[in-house]
Structure 1
Amino acid sequence: MNILLEQGWSEIDSKLIKNYVLSDFTHAIKFINLIAEDAEKVDHHPDIKLYKYKNVRVTLTTHSKRRITEKDISLAKQIDKIFDSIN
């Protein structure tokens, strides 16, 4: 978990939260769609917010456990990889 915090993730109210800034609207939407594809594969779905046309906020938590679990940590790492691949 510490490595996620070092990579810009925050732990707030039992949730992992990170903001990403993409180069433009098209890249932001592509990023969101790639997150959705991976989230669907692992059946673990983050909250995703697009704001100011190129900013994306991702929030992860395991709702059934009311806390951050290994599923959240694993998906957070995958989301960072997705961002690195398109940025």
Structure 2
Amino acid sequence: MADVPDALSAEQITDGLGGLPEWSLADGMIRRTVTAPTFLAGVELVRQVAEVAEGMNHHPDIDIRWRRVTFALATHDADGITFLDLEQARIIDGLVAELTVADGAS
């Protein structure tokens, strides 16, 4: 089994979320809900996040409800939030920004 990173302290999580304004802490996970311009755009966003997750070997919980996609991140093996979750949240934010630009909403 690969090394499991240590869970972050409450202060470290708060500091990390300071740079991730669209994310919030709830039920031991960091969460963000995105409203995609279309259902297919939301599914494509999920596909892109899944590709990143496979590369990181770190998989988020994802809930799709029509155009609304919710991502929830925690490191289950560490029983908390780790640097991997904050890193993946930053990557997801970048993918969401690209989705918005690709849709012409700029």
Quick one: percent identity of the two aligned structures?
A: 29
Structural mapping, 1:57-72, within 5 Å: 57-72=70-85
Match among 5, 19, 22 for residue 3 of structure 1: 19
The one-letter amino acid paired with 1:3 is: G
1:13-51 Cα offsets, whole Å, 9 max, x none, are 221011000001010000000000000000000000001
Which structure carries more strand by proportion?
A: 1
SS in 1 for 2:76: coil
Extract unaligned runs of 5+ from structure 2: 1-15, 101-106
Extract unaligned runs of 5+ from structure 1: none
- Displacement of 1:3: 1.2
- Partners in 2 of 1:29 and 1:66 — Cα distance? 28
Count of aligned pairs:
84
